Structure 1
Amino acid sequence: MAAFTTRPAMPDDGGFLADMVVEAVNWREGVHRPRPTVLADPISRRYIAGWQRPGDAGVVAVDADDRPVGAAWYRLFQADRAAHGFVAAGVPELVIGVRAPWRAQGIGRCLLRELVEQARRSGFARLTLSVERENYARDLYRSEGFLTVEARGGRETMARRLR
């Protein structure tokens, strides 16, 4: 396993979080959606626009040279500005991305666990996410207690109770 540590996401991590949205979208081997295309999508932009608003929280994984290699964060959305995994106002939706060379090394699980604990400490009752049905990360989410609450168009919304 590669050496990495984690740190809280900071206001100046917005550019890296945008990179992680692109990584999350480009999970499928052999399929690449360019950064400008991904970030032109209004829903993808909602995951990062104005980072770090009140209620936003996250964690960043860094390598031994302190270079960021992955991140997980959550945001609160309103029904009229919802993202893919929206279930209700007041329920944060998480996003997670790991640079391709660093995947399958435990980073995603570590980030997910830290973010779940952060959301619990912040008093949230649930945490949600959205994942494409074929994405191998779906198994990770299930193994960490996320359950499918809605499936539509090849995408699942999953939620985990925190208390």
Structure 2
Amino acid sequence: MHTGYTQPMRTAYHLRPATAADGAFLGDMVVEAANWRDGPARSRYEVLTSPDYGRYVGGWMRPGDAGFVALTESDDPIGAAWFRTFPRTDPGFGYVATGVPELIIGVRPIWRAHGVGRALLRRLSERARSEGATRLSLSVERGNFAATLYRSEGFAVTQSGFGRDTMVKRLR
């Protein structure tokens, strides 16, 4: 008799375009992204009321926003990646230039390292390219294991800031 807990296989998921109704879930993913480190987590309220993070979901889905949501076979959301374009006067963490969309990505911890982030990143890169973007940017805190994924998908550090790096992928 087996009495221990066996973690279920986590490989079956699918992606769909994000809609205006996904705003709350995207907020959850911003919170996941902000709390990537071990240690005390910042509350949802603290993260989303911060102008630094709230900008990534406030007013979702405005013109120029696009994204994808990853779902389990039973349609439970497990991750999302989306982009927004910010003006020079109100830049995001990963702002590099006017007209360059900034990527935001979050995956529920239990689904990390199962290909979900990579699939979302690739699909979003395809979307940005199809909309005429020549580059896609993001910001990653130093020490975040996701930086390895970003590098493997063609992102390169273009600017180093206080505790974080801005990375850019050329889409041509």
- TM bracket, shorter-chain basis: over 0.9
The partner residue of 2:156 within 147, 153, 159 is 147
In structure 2, give the amino acid aligned to 1:149.
T
- Number of residues of Structure 1 aligned to a counterpart in Structure 2: 163
Distance in 2 (alpha carbons) for counterparts of 1:144 and 1:105: 15
Q: How does 1:3-82 map to 2 (within 5 A)?
A: 3-82=12-91
Cα deviation, 1:3-25, whole Å, max 9, x if unaligned, reads 10000000110000000000001
| SS in structure 1 at match of 2:168 | strand
Q: CA–CA distance in 2 between the matches of 1:109 and 1:29? A: 22
Partner of 1:115: 124
TM (norm. structure 2) is 0.93
Post-superposition Cα deviations, 1:60-97, rounded to whole Å, max 9, x if no partner, equal: 00011101100000000001111100011100000000
Secondary structure class of the residue paired with 2:95: coil
**Structure 1: runs of 5+ lacking an equivalent:** none
Structure 1 SS opposite 2:83: strand
Deviation at 1:29, TM superposition (A): 2.2
Whole-angstrom distance in 2 between the partners of 1:83 and 1:93: 8
Q: Distance in 2 between matches of 1:60 and 1:131?
A: 20
SS at match of 1:160: strand
Alignment partners' CA distance in 2, 1:29 and 1:101: 14
Query: How many percent identity over aligned positions?
Result: 56
1:2: Cα distance to partner?
Answer: 2.2
Report the alpha carbon displacement of residue 100 of structure 1 after superposing the two structures with TM: 1.0
Q: Distance in 1 between matches of 2:74 and 2:135?
A: 34
Judging by fraction of residues, say which structure has more helix.
1
Runs of 4 or more, structure 1, over 4 Å off, are none
CA distance in 2, matches of 1:25, 1:80: 23
| TM-score, normalisation: structure 1 | 0.98
